[in-house]
């Protein structure tokens, strides 16, 4: 069987020009497929790697409606809650670079880094931050991109909270897990609150809590919401993963479109492989007839076709994945992480994605060979030997 496979694989050498261009076309399709799947993975990485012991509590109606600040203390009193911190989405831009997007949040200074312990800050930076009301801690990727260093003064233009806001860079953080990106801008909630008046004052966006037992997350979520059932403002508490997914709900149409496009690319690849295989079978009709005439069975002929197609798929998969892996990880991914870290903090080809692409290449080649192999196995010896050209 192995010898028959090797004989069939040698047939690809008969037309180097066709084989090279087929492999190139299939490889390009695989690179595009890997890129799209990596985009989808990178977009969802925060949800997939969310901390299992963290819960988010927000307004029951919608995320954009605020909660009274006192709710945070009530959450802390719920049995099973180990620590909690409140925060507010700030929404700001750099006046000189208005199109630059990054997450900016006003956070509870004393508790935030206990709840988000994967955000590693040096003791010196944290002490400097706590001592400065205008202090800000920024992700190391964002700091590098903007050229910020400790001691720099930065002015952001508020969008949700209009005005020019001045900050002092107190330090940077680096995420130790993929649940958090390295491009956030964090500052003291008190600094924001002191500048607010009217209904905006003493209100927060949401509360994040860490629980003592992740297996009790659902139970603790219900207990938190029960505390506020009889209040004017009710809440909804969910796992961090669910909250991250809800944030991405607005982009669901785009993600679905990318998913569809990746499937279309595979369809194009199937057509490319199928055309090449069909042409090869048509050219070797007489050869298959001779094989039948000297005693080979129909399944031998079919095996030759499928083996040749599988070899084509293996070569295409190896070339496509072999190019896509370093191209995405060392070139495209690095550039995206440095320039679009807020949206794609981790842009790397997952081993599972690379393996999937390789397997798909072989599977599509095998599928593309089914009809030609069946036709080759049914070839009439006398008709094929009489065929001219």
**Contact status, residue 205 vs residue 50, Cβ threshold 8 Å:** no
E strand or H helix that includes residue 169: strand 163-175
Task: Work out the angle between the directed axes of helices 252-283 and 298-326 (0-180°, nearest 10).
Answer: 140
Instruction: Provide the pLDDT for residue 164.
Output: 93
In 327-343, which positions are buried (b, 16+ CB within 10 angstroms) versus exposed (e)?
Answer: ebeeeebeebbeebbbb
Q: Which residues contact 126 (CB under 8 A, 6 or more apart)?
A: 113, 137, 171
Instruction: Provide the pLDDT for residue 151.
Output: 94
Average pLDDT of adjacent 10-residue blocks, the chain of 389 residues:
60 71 86 87 70 91 91 96 94 86 92 94 96 95 91 93 95 88 92 91 95 92 95 92 68 73 85 79 69 72 79 88 87 72 71 90 86 73 57
Instruction: Provide the pLDDT for residue 110.
Output: 92
CB atoms within 10 A of CB 149: 11
* Residue 43 φ/ψ region, left for φ over 0, alpha for ψ in the -120 to 50 degree band, beta for the rest: alpha
**Contact status, residue 67 vs residue 189, Cβ threshold 8 Å:** no
Do you know the residue count of the chain?
389
CB atoms within 10 A of CB 386: 10
**Contact status, residue 201 vs residue 52, Cβ threshold 8 Å:** no
What are phi and psi for residue 151, nearest 5 degrees?
100, -15
């Amino acid at each position: 069987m192995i010898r028959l496979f090797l004989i069939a694989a040698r047939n690809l050498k008969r037309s180097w020009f066709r084989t090279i261009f087929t492999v190139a076309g299939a490889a390009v399709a695989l690179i595009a497929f890997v890129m799209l799947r990596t985009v989808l993975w990178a977009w969802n990485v925060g949800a997939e790697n969310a901390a299992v012991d963290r819960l988010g509590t927000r307004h029951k109606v919608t995320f954009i409606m605020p909660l009274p600040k006192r709710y945070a203390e009530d959450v802390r009193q719920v049995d099973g809650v180990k620590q909690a911190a409140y925060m507010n989405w700030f929404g700001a831009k750099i006046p000189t670079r208005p199109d630059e997007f990054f997450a900016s949040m006003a956070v509870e200074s004393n508790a935030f880094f206990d709840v988000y312990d994967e955000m590693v800050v040096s003791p010196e930076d944290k002490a400097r931050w706590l001592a400065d009301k205008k202090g800000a801690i920024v992700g190391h990727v964002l700091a590098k991109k903007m050229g910020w260093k400790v001691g720099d003064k930065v002015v952001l233009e508020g969008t949700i909270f209009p005005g020019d806001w001045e900050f002092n860079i107190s330090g940077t953080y680096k995420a130790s897990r993929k649940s958090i990106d390295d491009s956030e801008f964090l500052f003291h909630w008190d600094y924001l609150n002191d500048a607010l008046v009217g209904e905006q004052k003493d209100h927060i966006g949401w509360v994040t809590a860490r629980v003592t037992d992740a297996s009790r997350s659902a139970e603790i979520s219900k207990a938190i919401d029960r505390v506020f059932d009889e209040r004017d403002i009710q809440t909804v508490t969910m796992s961090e993963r669910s909250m991250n997914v809800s944030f991405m709900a607005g982009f669901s149409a785009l993600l679905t479109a990318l998913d569809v496009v990746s499937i279309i690319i595979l369809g194009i690849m199937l057509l490319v492989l199928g055309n090449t295989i069909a042409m090869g079978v048509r050219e070797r009709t007489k050869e298959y007839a001779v094989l039948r005439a000297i005693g080979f069975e129909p399944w031998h002929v079919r095996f030759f076709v499928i083996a040749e197609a599988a070899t084509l798929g293996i070569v295409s998969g190896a070339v496509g994945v072999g190019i896509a892996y370093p191209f995405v990880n060392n070139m495209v991914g690095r550039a995206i992480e440095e320039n679009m870290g807020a949206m794609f903090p981790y842009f790397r080809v997952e081993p599972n994605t690379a393996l999937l692409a390789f397997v798909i290449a072989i599977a599509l080649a095998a599928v593309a060979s089914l009809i030609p192999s069946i036709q080759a196995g049914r070839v009439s010896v006398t008709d094929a030997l009489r065929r001219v050209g």
